[in-house]
Structure 1
């Protein structure tokens, strides 16, 4: 039996949901077991895939380069950080000329602030400059996947129950805001393009 870890599927998720995914967990006690972020719509994510507008880059490192990038999608902002252990991603952020559309695959990271709040960011594995059509297809596909997760959420599966436990407030849990965000993203796309027949992108 091979000891090599299998490559996890990169989940498509909008920024508004990703930034709420503050709970992380492992499903094994093994040292190299993957760490998952629990999406509020009831799915685990070891890797995520998103496309948006890179609006800003900044070297926030002190002793060495450590690049921050901000990527905006229709629902909010992703924050990603790349340093010496992500040389390709760091190089892209160093040389980028915002604004530009980018496609990013990376791993969720959480950290607690001095005030006790949990912030969520991305450690990018790859950053690729893309065109508007690629961004549009990602919006359509991500809205579709979000709505599919919400449909499965009602079936009260394992991760849906975990989401209610960790994100619920006194037994009440409003996942409908993610449905609204997905539908709003589609409406914004139609308003921008005047084109309602954008084809979903093939799986990555």
Structure 2
């Protein structure tokens, strides 16, 4: 009896790391096997979960609707997402939402190689929902923690057997993971700054 495929865990990641995740791979030769992007901190991702500020939506389709959305995280880095006829719910959300708005997005990473050999990374959203600031703040705290945990595992060379995805990330990317530590810490600091401003305004 074939095992029922389970949905992949949606990974939490900041935009700076997500946009650097240009390497994709499959775990098997089955044409239906999931495609993963490899995060530079050594985690595979078939789905991602992000929360940020939707700053812009645009119908970039020629013959039919094809919506582009920009979502900015607390560091000012941008996730690009695209939804068309095969993602009708997400496309209608992008059509109806009025930026700026906080949104939560679950979707699949997609890579696209440009003519000059650059790899662009975007999200094909499965769901988009409008959320409040508290939801965005919780996502920032949890994503910072997950990012720092991944970096800890990446740096942890205590003679233990190295995780295969950490090893793969070391081979595929020549990127200092310190960049992503800074992104995590910067996101947390921006939250603290916002909260101080709110407190001062209320006094």
Fold-level similarity (TM above 0.5):
yes
User: C-alpha distance in 2, partners of 1:116/1:154?
Assistant: 30
Report the equivalent of 1:153: 154
- Structure 1, gaps ≥5 residues long: 196-204
Per-residue CA distance 1:148-196 (angstroms, 9 max, x = gap): 001111233211111111112xxxx41111001100110110000139x
- Structure 2, gaps ≥5 residues long: 157-161, 198-203
Deviation at 1:5, TM superposition (A): 2.1
Q: Please say if 1:184 is aligned against 2:186.
A: yes
Q: Which of 1 and 2 has greater Rg?
A: 2
Report the equivalent of 1:52: 52
Instruction: Report runs of 4+ in structure 1 exceeding 6 Å deviation.
Output: none
Report the equivalent of 1:62: 62
Report the equivalent of 1:198: none
Q: How many residues align?
A: 191
Report the equivalent of 1:175: 177
Q: Please say if 1:91 is aligned against 2:92.
A: yes
Q: Provide closer, same or farther for how the CA distance between residues 62 and 4 of structure 1 changes in structure 2, counting only shifts above 3 A.
A: farther
TM normalised by structure 1 equals 0.91
SS at match of 1:19: helix
TM normalised by structure 2 equals 0.92
User: C-alpha distance in 1, partners of 2:119/2:86?
Assistant: 23
User: C-alpha distance in 2, partners of 1:39/1:148?
Assistant: 13
Deviation at 1:3, TM superposition (A): 5.1
Aligned-pair RMSD on alpha carbons?
A: 1.1
User: C-alpha distance in 2, partners of 1:163/1:3?
Assistant: 29
User: C-alpha distance in 2, partners of 1:2/1:55?
Assistant: 44
Identify the structure with the greater helix proportion. 2
Per-residue CA distance 1:8-35 (angstroms, 9 max, x = gap): 0000000000000000000000111000
